[in-house]
Amino acid sequence: MDYLAAFVTGGLLCVAAQMVLNLTNLSPGHVMVLFVSAGAVVSGMGWYQPLIDFGGAGATVPLTGFGHALVTGILDGLNRDGLMGLFTGGITATSFGITVAVVFGYLMAILFNPKG
């Protein structure tokens, strides 16, 4: 049942993003920023954690989950380190994902030649 909940949750978030792309003149970059920001705002209001509790990876993997991770890290850093945590918490919470994206992007650039 957990797999189904993750599939449905992630699928609905992706459908929402595709609808925004199809129904507006926003570029994919704008939609990405919109979804990270929306995830951050919804997380700040305390509404994103129940979605994660239901959908698991279906809610944490999409871009909205990255916004949630930033806000959660900032709030944890603020509680732990005070004002300095406000600046370091988000980076600390998302550093693994950012590192993986950079490393695998670099490896793919080395391994494959672009067509073009």
Q: Are 73 and 66 in contact (CB under 8 A)?
A: no
Counting the structural domains of the chain, the total is: 1
Q: Is residue 39 part of a domain?
A: yes
**Residue 49 belongs to what domain range?**
2-111
pTM: 0.84
Q: Is residue 26 part of a domain?
A: yes
Residue for token digits 């609808």? 19
Q: Is residue 33 part of a domain?
A: yes
The one-digit pLDDT tens for each residue of the chain (116 residues) are 999 999 999 999 999 999 999 999 999 999 999 999 999 999 999 999 999 999 999 999 889 999 999 999 999 999 999 999 999 999 999 999 899 999 999 999 999 987 76
Q: Is residue 34 part of a domain?
A: yes
Q: Is residue 116 part of a domain?
A: no
Integer Cα distance of 31 and 65 in angstroms: 14
